[in-house]
Structure 1
Amino acid sequence: MKKSIIFALIAVATSFAIWAGVTYPRIGGEALHLASSLETSLYGLHRAEVDVSDSTMMSWQNSPDDGKESVIMIHGYSADKTVWMRFARHFTKQYRVIILDLPGHGETAFDPALKYDTVSQAQRVVEAMNTLGIKRAHIIGNSMGGFIAGQLALHHPDRVQSAVLVDAAGVISPQESDMFKMLAAGRNPFEMSSRAEFTEFYAMTMAQPPWLPKMILDYMADDYIARRESLARIFQDFHSTDFLDNRLPDIQVPTLILWGEQDRLLHVSGAEVWKNGIVNAELITYPKLGHMPMTEAPSQSAEDVLAFLAKHH
């Protein structure tokens, strides 16, 4: 009798451990999505689908207003629209704001039949503008999103009122970042198979990350692990596009470059490449910030961008 009770307790404990291991990160994900939904609604943003020729992109938007200029925010590789959330709240009263989840990111599905190079992604942004009835917009992009913003400024200047490049990919930095040293050694920090690898990667993304509880970080880690194959494919396509170093003088739209000096993914020396290549480009760097100033210091970086946009109505 005693043995059967012991075995029953062991079975219950084992079942609970399995349940907890499965549901714990899932609860973290639900908490993250709920918190993001509530917070964005406070900022006047709502979820909306945007149809383009080859996909349906999820977005956050505020209510259209014909009297407002438009601002489109584009996240980086492997990220999603949530990185702009607290930055975007500073723009919603004055601008029409659209924050996209590019295909293969966030709530927009990965489709192996699509192309994920920056020219293709830039074309989808143009198509999204057409769907939304936006003739011209201020384009703000981080990392890969900055590369896409650069492609838009180069190939679709009539649609770009100004470009803001935040720690932007797309040029060769004179000094190698920690990420490029890892890539040269044969390891991509974005492709991970354990939570420990995610912890190492996450420390590279920001110098001053906002606080998140462990169950949300574990959910994010598990999500990266689950997306390993699709992220590898997107990375391959993303890096199949020629960088813009030799085309920078052809960019004629007003351009602001923001960069965190502690960036470990894209070295801050790349900022000067953009600035020296684009005529009259402006540059602001942040000594204590990393790869995502809009997430690390949303109020400060938004203030700098708003001042720039005010000069380019």
Structure 2
Amino acid sequence: MKWVVGILVVVAAGLTLAGCALTAKDIPYPVLEAKYGGPASHYMDLPGELRIHYRDQGRADGPAVVLVHGFAASLHTWEPWVTRLAPDYRVISLDLPGHGLTRAPEGYVAAQATNVAVVDELTRRLKADRFVIVGNSMGGGVSWAYALAHPERLNGLVLVDAAGWPREDKGNEKPPVVFKLLGNPAGRALLRNINPRPLATRGLKSAYVDETVVTPAVVDRYVELALAPGHRAILTSGRDGPQRRVDRSVFATIKTPTLVMHGEADTVIDVAAGRGLASAIPGAKLITYPGVGHVPMEQVPDRSVADLKAFLSSLPPT
């Protein structure tokens, strides 16, 4: 029955998109770099033919904070926080493979473990020996996985509407149709070829909750970066790669000081997931935001960064 339902979802989505331009050509990297790069952008070649786009901003001798974005997003989602943190902190942000301006070879399969390895290699080469890692959504999953793999390198862990909490009850989650398509092989094949704009517009409005934040420029950024060569294939490859199975006991082993932040109106990952993470990670602090959706750092940057700074200032000096 689940298989039949999955096929019906794919068919329905295909019919919905029938009136739209179903295909879109890739946009060359030089064009995207000219529009979405800039003086703060740098690139680093890593093993596996990866060319990572990153930014290393703020106070060079300040405590390091590493920012990891969510699925289909990019380091640009952190800019409201970067401008507010820069006077006091060294702020490193990056585009994961398949996202933003980062290049990956043909056939690259995204996975949590490979994203952890990218973060580890990049920060080591940048000589950020110890840092606070902050992750939103999928990037939150990468961040807590990093805390499990490399606790000796972390001063703190911040999970912003993070993915990965195992539970049967999905609460008030009403994820965009793109996530339903990603759960089915036929849906993933469809997503590799279609124009992402119709799905992106609807999905972003659902995730942000406040539709006024979803400006044409924001939609253009998500859509155009998704059209970077190879990105659609990588974005749809995650379900094909190895899946890590976790339960509550896994989070209980995290010893890094942790802050959990979550929008109470998040329809992508219900606030119950944030509460679960905070209850499972020893000593974790939970802050929720009424009326806020999946990206508090963009929706309520002043309030959320103030909470982040309070957490950072509470950490013991290294």
SS in 1 for 2:144: helix
1:138 aligned to 2:99?
Answer: no
1:213 CA displacement? 4.7
After superposition, the Cα gap between the structure-2 partners of 1:101 and 1:32, relative to the gap in structure 1 and judged at 3 Å, is closer
SS in 1 for 2:238: helix
Aligned to 1:3: none
CA contact (8 A) 1:198 1:221 kept: yes
1:218 CA displacement? 4.9
After superposition, the Cα gap between the structure-2 partners of 1:154 and 1:224, relative to the gap in structure 1 and judged at 3 Å, is same
**Range 265-274 or range 247-256, more displaced:** 265-274
Q: How many residues align structurally?
A: 279
1:116 CA displacement? 1.9
Aligned to 1:230: 234
Aligned to 1:161: 155
After superposition, the Cα gap between the structure-2 partners of 1:127 and 1:201, relative to the gap in structure 1 and judged at 3 Å, is same
After superposition, the Cα gap between the structure-2 partners of 1:265 and 1:56, relative to the gap in structure 1 and judged at 3 Å, is same
The separation in 2 between residues aligned to 1:123 and 1:163, in whole angstroms, is 17
After superposition, the Cα gap between the structure-2 partners of 1:191 and 1:127, relative to the gap in structure 1 and judged at 3 Å, is same
1:225-273 Cα deviation digits (max 9, x unpaired): 6743331113443x72223533111100000000011111111110121
SS in 2 for 1:162: strand
The separation in 1 between residues aligned to 2:287 and 2:84, in whole angstroms, is 19
Q: Counterpart of 2:254 in structure 1: which amino acid? A: I
Hey, which of these two has a bigger chunk of helix by percent? 1
CA contact (8 A) 2:55 2:94 kept: yes
CA contact (8 A) 2:110 2:235 kept: no
Aligned to 2:141: 147
1:288 aligned to 2:288?
Answer: no
Q: Counterpart of 2:57 in structure 1: which amino acid? A: N
Aligned to 2:180: 183
Q: Counterpart of 1:196 in structure 2: which amino acid? A: P
The separation in 2 between residues aligned to 1:214 and 1:59, in whole angstroms, is 24
1:70 aligned to 2:72?
Answer: no
The separation in 2 between residues aligned to 1:198 and 1:65, in whole angstroms, is 36
Aligned to 1:61: 56
Q: Counterpart of 1:98 in structure 2: which amino acid? A: I
1:209 CA displacement? 5.0
TM-score, with normalisation over the residues of structure 2?
0.77
The separation in 1 between residues aligned to 2:217 and 2:68, in whole angstroms, is 27
Equivalent residues in 2 for 1:98-117, closer than 5 Å: 98-117=92-111
Equivalent residues in 2 for 1:206-217, closer than 5 Å: 206-208=208-210, 211=213, 213-214=215-216, 217=219
1:204 CA displacement? 2.0
**Structure 1 vs Structure 2: percent identity of aligned residues?**
26
CA contact (8 A) 1:260 1:292 kept: yes
The separation in 1 between residues aligned to 2:212 and 2:33, in whole angstroms, is 13
Equivalent residues in 2 for 1:34-45, closer than 5 Å: 34=35, 37=38
After superposition, the Cα gap between the structure-2 partners of 1:280 and 1:224, relative to the gap in structure 1 and judged at 3 Å, is same
Aligned to 1:197: 199
1:277-303 Cα deviation digits (max 9, x unpaired): 110100001111111111111111111
TM-score, with normalisation over the residues of structure 1?
0.78
Bigger Cα Rg? 1
1:71-110 Cα deviation digits (max 9, x unpaired): 0000011110000011111111111110011111100013
Structure 1: gaps spanning 5 or more residues: 1-21
CA contact (8 A) 2:100 2:226 kept: no
CA contact (8 A) 2:58 2:89 kept: no
